[in-house]
Structure formats: structure tokens, C-alpha cells
A and B are shown apart, each in its own frame.
Chain A
Amino acid sequence: MLRHLNLQATGSAQPSAGRTIIENVSRRGFLKGTAAFAVVVQFLPFDAEAYETYPHGGQSMPNGVVNNPLVFVSIDRDGTVTIKAHRSEMGTGSRTSIPMIVADEMEADWSRVRIVQAEGDEKKYGNQDTDGSRSLRHHIQPARDIGAAVRRMLEEAAAKRWETDVANVQAVGHEVVHKTLGLRLGYGELAEAAMALPVPARADLRFKDEKEFRYIGKGQVKIVDLHDITTGKAVYAADVSLPGMLTAVVARPPVVGGKVKSADSAAALAVPGVVNVVEIPGSPLGSKFKPLGGIAVVARSTWAALKGRDALTIEWDAGPHGSANTADQEKELRASAGAPGAPVRDQGDAEAALASAARVFTREYYQPHMAHAPMEPPAALANFADGKCEVWGCLQSPYGARGDIAEFFGLGEEDVKVNVTLLGGGFGRKSKGDFAIEAAYLSREVGAPVRVQWTREDDIRHSFYHTTSVEKIDIGLDANDKPVAWRHRSAATSFLSTFAPDEGVQHPVEIGMGLEDMPFEIANVRAEQCKAYAHTRVGWYRAVSNIPRAFAIQSITAELADELGRDQKDFLLEMIGTPRKLDWRAAGLPQEFWNNGEPYEHFPIDTGRLRHVIELAADKAGWGKSLPPGEGLGIAAHRSFVSYVAAVVRVKVGEDGTVSVPETHIAIDCGFVANPERVQSQMQGACVFGMTAAMYSGITLENGAVVESNFHDYDMVRADNFPQVAHTHIVEHPFAVHATGVGEPGVPPILPALTNAIFNATGKRIRNLPIGDQLQT
């Protein structure tokens, strides 16, 4: 998301342009002796016109969007269509869905399509940074452009062959037919001629009517890796090996910025299989994705490396964060949020309205750091030889990692190659390629290919953590209990502290995730950011700052409804107010307001859509129905990643405080949906992920070091307590309603919907996360 930090993170779209000649020769084509007919590719200037009809923020991402079909599609003589997947696959299904869109628009038979993962090369493929729930929303139209262009080229090739006008032919189901003569030519037969044609201008393309879609919107295409995953053949980072490869595990400083004071590696070197012990230079907080440093044990097997690491004796110098404690930090955050901060939104005069209010309703919510804990811990293989470095890893941002490696070692970009494996979950952790730099460093030092394997303990203790924050909200009510003022103060550690010396302030991206874009119809609104200083690496975690903001806003709204004796759902709708598109200037939002990187005029805050998902989820869940004692329904809604999601969670709290969730209803409006089956799987997953965050996820710093280490003290929702039935309700739209985010926006409403339900079941209000043992009796 933030490889290239830009403090003026606006949604303005500037088409990128350029003309480069590159060689794009299919290795497979060479090996088989059959050419894949895209040999010399001219990168055309970005086709801005394509996006005037379907505008989105893709162009303003680093290296923009590429819609050149020759970059992404090749066709073999046997008709096999190869489509490059340029986004990293971490479970959302984009590796299937984007090529599926290309295939549909080019009238390819999906059973004859194979997917090849692109290496990290944004000059060629455009932006590849897979996070921010952007893959479909930035690539659905470019994928259609690509498919339509290839279809047009195949049609032109056939028309030439038949010496007829292109209007007389049509591509249908992997072949081109002559409309009147009944002649047919398969895609394989046409490939060579078709792919040698100039790429047609977009004005000459005919896009399919939505009614003609074979795969898009149907939810019938299975993920491309399904068979490999279920047979153990799918390749993740630690599944790649090279001849002569060694495996390393690293003892990293327990405190960020710490250093090795002294080390005795004799016992480690005595472990059979250990070949070397190497110190990796460390870096202070604020060093972006540079390694933490420490001592690596390099061995012929993972087991030997692990035993060797256990045998190390290291004395650490903790460095400047060695006295940091979570308990102290919580107090600091509460104190900071309790005093005026820097305004980030000012609408009306909230201070005056609070001063003159009949009463002020105040609540404060806290969340500690969280670790992503993807099931696949970070791992990477590097081969550093002859001044060049090749890496294989589970990387969300392969081109970002490539640049970081080049910078770390003083190499040119052309001397670094980054290959992307499947990711065993990412959730933001794998946007940061520190583990790939470690592998490259060790490979260079020992002169052999090296795989770095992180253990689960490494993963939980050395993450780039979700922000810890206190969100304090004051609501001023007039004499008729009508809310007339809203003041939200946020003290939250920022991921800026990972990129530069910490000034205790948040980035516009974080501010734009629920703090300043609060959609309630209240006359006077003020949002402030209050200073918060980090003592560990802060990163981004699925849904990022939307999690604490939705938790605070949706909790206080339910709390105030209870205070006023109102129904929580009705009161939430009343707070949102009339269906309208927020005028951001009138709402007091600043010029640098970050609308998830999207042009505001096309992706406004639309309270009508937010209201609709609330009404839909409430209706489907039977909101208002009576439940047995110990059970409750909770509701919450949040706009994030320009999608609108509402959740109703039904909870059952046992007499001993055990929480179970028999049912959830989640309603999502994410514009046009290309793959409803994967939207459903993301929503089911979001219910589990959100419940885990609410129930268990808290990282504790003691003397600067993380206390938690594995799933015994950093537990996950499991098969015996997951939300038993998660119903997904997708708002249907035509293609013209732009696709928006899916991977993340399901998560934020789950936490407050769960805690609101717990309150309705038990009367116990959760204001500090995680829930942990707060309900135990």
C-alpha cells in the first residue's frame, strides 16, 4: 500500500505514459519449440480514454496500470492461452478472477487457459502491490481491455485469412467463425498472425454486453490452484529449493533497534548439519523494511538450523525501546486522546456545540497491537551470485521487495529478480520484504542459495504490528436528545514510524480510514489526531485503521442508543441520516482527504448505500426477534476500501462466559461483482478473522519485547467456536457501478457487531480489546 509514501495522498489520477521496448519471449515457448507470439512489445502510452468511462485510482498508483494485451496474453499453436497473473495470490482469489475476466472478454475457453505468475516488474506489468483491496477494483476494466483487444486481433487475423471484412467474423468459444460462410478457425491456428498485428485502438474495441458474460459474475469458476492445493502440489515460499541450497533461521533482537552485545556460537557450530553462523546487521525503528538484524544459523536442514539457533548464547543490547511496556503505552494513549489534538476535519463548530450541549456522552475505546499470523510464516529463498540476486518468496509487493533489495545491496534494479510463490495468507505482513533481504544477505555471505525460514515465534514476535490506539468520542446532545456535536480524538501509533523517525503523527491514509470520513448527519463534527509514539514496528493489517475506528464509532452509537432507550439499528440509521452523497468540502474534510486513493466524484461517501446494507443485513437476520436468555444480536456497519458492509452477529454467551456465534449475516455493496463465490468466501473469512481479532488478538510489550509467541498465547478462532453459519448478502449492480474492495472491508464491522451482541446478551460492554477473559465469571 505504502511503498512510496506520499504525504499528499490524494485521489487525483494522473495517467502515466511511456514508451519502452522490451523483449518478452516465452520461456515455455522456447522449451516446447513453439513460439508464444509476443516477441517485441511496445509499451504504448497509457490509454487515458479507456478510463474516462470507468475512472478509478489505478493510474495514480506507482507505475500505474498496464492494459497492453501483449504483456499479459500469449497463445500457443495448440490453442493454449497463457495469461499472466501479476497480483500476488494470498487467498482472495485474484489470481483466478482477473485472468477469468480476460478470458471471458476474449471468448477463451477457461479449460484451455493456463495461468503463469508474473515476476516483480512494474515497469512491465504496472502496479503489483497487492493490498488495499485493490486487485479487482483497479484491474477489472484493464482485464476487459486486454481480453477485448486480443479478441479483436484474432478476429482481424481470421478476416485477413478469409479476405473479408472484420465485421463478417466473430470470436466465439475459442474460435473465430465466419458469420455467413460458416468457416471456423481455432485460436491456436490464428495465434501467430493475430499476435503479430498491431494492438487495436480502444475505440475499435467492442466490449461484451453483460448478458454475454460466460464467467464474469457467475461464480462458477473454481480457483486455479484448487487441485494443487488439495493434493499438496501448490508451491509456497518454503517449497522452492535450488541445488546446494542451505536453510537459515535467525535469532533476532527481542527489542526493535537492539543489537548483539556478545555472542557465543561455538555450540551452534557443533550441531551436525550447521555450516555457518552469520551476523546480520540490524537497523533502528524507522528503517522501512530493513532486517532487524541478529545472528543467523545456516545449515543443511531446517532442523539443524533450529537446533543450532537454540544453542546460541547471545547477550543483547536492547537499545532505545528497551523500557517500553504496553501498560504504560496504554496510559500514554489515553492521556493523549484526553486532550486536544491536531484537527483533521472541521465541520461547523463542534467545540461550541459541545460547550452548549444539554449533555455530552463520552466513551473511550482501546485496542492493543495485533500480529497478522498468516498460516505460512515468512520465508524466502535467495541466490546471490556474480553481483546478481534472484529471490523466490511469499511477497505481496514483489516489485517493492525488488527495489528494497537493490537499494540494500547497492545493486541496479536489473540485477535483482523477484519471483512470487503462492502466499499462505498475507494480511499485510508480507507487504514487507525484510525476510527476503535476510535471505539475500545470507546467500551473499555464505556463497550459496539460502532459504530463510521464520518460525511461528519469529512471526509473532517480529511482525509489523497493527496500530495500537485509543479512540475517544464525545457526542453532544441538545435538550431533545438529538446529537448536535461529534468530536473524535484518535491517538494511534502510525506506520509512518516504520518509514522515518517517529513524529507521533498519522498518515492521511490512516486518517482516511474512519476518522475523518465518518458519515453521520450531525451538524458539528470535529476529528483530531493526537500524538502517539511507537515502540515497535507498525505496519498494516487487514483493514488497517478501519478496525479501531469502526469499533469505536459503532460501539458508541449502540451505547448511546441504549442510553436513550432506542433500538440500536434504528438509531444507527438515524445517525447516518438521509440518503446522500457527502459533499466533502461542506463536511469540512481537508484537501488531502484520502478517499482510498479513488477519485471522489466517482466514489463518494454514499449514505444511501450504507443505509441499504444495514437494512439488508438487519432484515435477513430478523433484527428485533426475541432470543433465548444469554443470546443477543449486534449490528454494525462501516464503509472502507470504498465498499459498504453491514454485519449482524448473533452471539450466545455461556454462564461461564464462553462466547459462541451461531450465525452472522453480512451484507456487502462492493459495486459490480466479478466473482461472487470469492466474495462470499472473503465474507465468511472476515467473520472468522474479525472474531479472532475481537476475542484473542493482543500483542504485549514488556521491556520492549513481545511477550506472546505462538498459538497458545496468541490464539485463533478454531473449528469448535467459529461463526457457525455466515450468510453473505451481496448487493447486485450492473458493471457500470464500479467494483470496489472485498478482501478487507468485511472485517471492521465484525468486531463491534460482536461486542454489541455480547452487550445485548449479557449487559457487559466491551470497550477494551481483545475480549480475552473479560466475560469470564
Chain B
Amino acid sequence: MISLTVNGVERQFDGDPETPLLWYIRDELGLNGTKYGCGTGLCGACTVHLDGQAVRGCLATVAEAEGTSVSTIEGLSPDGNHPVQVAWRDLNVPQCGFCQTGQIMQASALLAASPSPSDQEILEGMQGNICRCGCYQRIVGAVRRASTGV
């Protein structure tokens, strides 16, 4: 039996401990904001926070999350108004939207670790998250806006 906390709720899991967090979060908990994009840690669509650190939910297993606190997009902010989410809406970032929850989770972890990142830090910090629609200019702008308020 594995114990972990997801979005502030204590959870027990007695399934395959090698189950990736992504599939545990989606299939077991029904939290669908975390997306499957590649399954190999190459696209970032499944990014969640593990004790505040951005991790790829398709690579991290439930066993590795034992005793940790996991946050998904649904737990990022109670009212959906985390500064990164607000900045995302202010700049109309999304096109299809599919990768955006992963982008937001990546950006919020980046800003938590480095509240005023340089442009280069933003580009490097976000390079693991693919957006096929090509919203990068606005993604980077929104991260900057969330960090500086403008």
C-alpha cells in the first residue's frame, strides 16, 4: 500500500507500484487536467509538482511518489487564479490548449524556484514543454508577466 497526498488529499494506492503518476492521476483519481503527450518525458504535457518540483508524470511512478505531496493543475490554485494562470489568460496564450496545463505547471514551478528569472532562464526552463500549435512567444511572455506583473 502506497500513501501519498494529491492536491492536499491523502490517498492510498494498492495497485502496481510501477504505475506512472500520469495514469494514476488520470485513471484512478479522474483528474484529467494532466495530459498524456509522449510517455517518455519528451514533451511535458503531463507535468505535475512533486513536493513543489516539476516532474513528468509519465516517468515518475506512484512508488517514487510515496510519502510526497503531489499537485496537479486542479490543485494549483483553489479558484484557478494562480498568477501564472491569470497571465496565461491575459495574453490569450492557448490555441488548442492541450499542452497548456503542463506548460502552466512547469512555469509555476520555475517561478516558485526563481521568482524573477532572466529571459534565458525562462527559455531554458520551458524548453522541455512542446507546444505543437506554436504558442511559445505568448508562453514566454506570460511567464515573464507572471514574474513581474507586467
Given A247-B27, A455-B39, are A718 and B45 neighbors across the interface (CB < 8 Å)? Answer: no
Q: Are A230 and B89 in contact (CB under 8 A)?
A: yes
Q: A424-B98, A427-B132, A719-B129 are in contact. List 9 more A-B contacts (CB 8 A).
A: A91-B95, A223-B94, A303-B24, A375-B45, A375-B99, A376-B35, A457-B39, A686-B134, A712-B40
Q: Any chain A CB within 8 A of the CB of B85? A: yes
Interface hits, B1-21 → A, CB 8 Å: 15-16, 19-20
Interface centre among B73, B130, B133 (most CB of A within 10 A): B133
A227 touches B94 (CB 8 A): no
Q: Mark A673-692, 1 if CB is under 8 A from B, else 0.
A: 00001000110111111001
Asked if A303 and B42 make an inter-chain contact with CB atoms under 8 angstroms apart, the answer reads no
Q: CB of A232 within 8 A of chain B? A: yes
Q: In this complex, what residue of A is CB-closest to B73? A: A232
* In the complex, chain A residues whose CB is within 8 Å of the CB of B104: 230
Cβ contact of B95, chosen from A92, A236, A307, A373, cutoff 8 A: A92
List the one stretch of A384-392, A551-559, A720-728 in contact with chain B.
A720-728
Contacts of B98 in A (CB 8 A): 236, 374-376, 422, 424-425
The answer to whether A722 touches B38 (Cβ under 8 A) is no
Given known contacts A232-B32, A684-B134, A711-B38, is B97 in contact with A719 (CB within 8 Å)? Answer: no
Contact partners of A682 in chain B: CB under 8 A: 95
Given A91-B133, A229-B94: A719 in contact with B140 (beta carbons within 8 A): yes
Known: A303-B23, A716-B132, A719-B127. A456 touches B38 (CB 8 A): yes
Residue contact B40 to A375, C-beta cutoff 8 Å: no
Q: Report the separation of the CA atoms of residues A273 and B139 in the bound assembly, to the nearest whole angstrom.
A: 39
Complex-state Cα separation, A262 to B73, whole angstroms? 44
A166 at the interface (CB under 8 A from B): no
CA distance A307 to B32 in the complex (A): 21
Chain A residues contacting B15 (CB-CB under 8 Å) are: 272-273, 301
Interface residues of B in 85-107 (CB under 8 A from A): 85, 88-89, 92, 94-101, 104
CB proximity of B24 to chain A, nearest CB, Å = 8
Given A232-B33, A236-B35, is A376 in contact with B96 using a C-beta cutoff of 8 Å?
A: yes
Q: Given A424-B98, A718-B127 in contact, is the A689-B134 Cβ separation under 8 Å? A: yes
Question: Top 5 closest A-B pairs, CB basis?
Answer: A232-B33, A688-B134, A424-B98, A91-B96, A91-B95
Instruction: Identify the B interface with A (CB < 8 A).
Output: 15-16, 19-20, 23-24, 26-28, 30-40, 42-43, 45, 72-74, 80, 85, 88-89, 92, 94-101, 104, 122-124, 126-140
A39 on the B face (CB < 8 A):
no
For the complex, what is the distance from the CA of A687 to the CA of B95, rounded to whole Å? 14
Question: Within the assembled complex, what's the spacing in Å between the Cα atoms of A423 and B33?
Answer: 14
Report which residue of A235, A422, A677, A688 has the largest number of chain B beta carbons within 10 angstroms of its beta carbon: A688
In the complex the two chains form, is A229's CB within 8 Å of B100's CB?
yes
Contact (Cβ within 8 A) B97 A234: yes
Residues on the A chain within 8 Å of B31, using CB: 232
Q: Is A279 an interface residue (CB 8 A)?
A: no
Provide the residues of chain B in CB contact with A716, threshold 8 Å. Answer: 130, 132
In this assembly, does A416 line the interface, its C-beta being within 8 Å of a C-beta of chain B? Answer: no
How distant is B142 from chain A, measured CB to nearest CB, in Å?
A: 10
B38 lies within 8 A of A710 (CB): yes
Interface residues of A in 219-256 (CB under 8 A from B): 222-223, 225-227, 229-236, 238-239, 241, 247
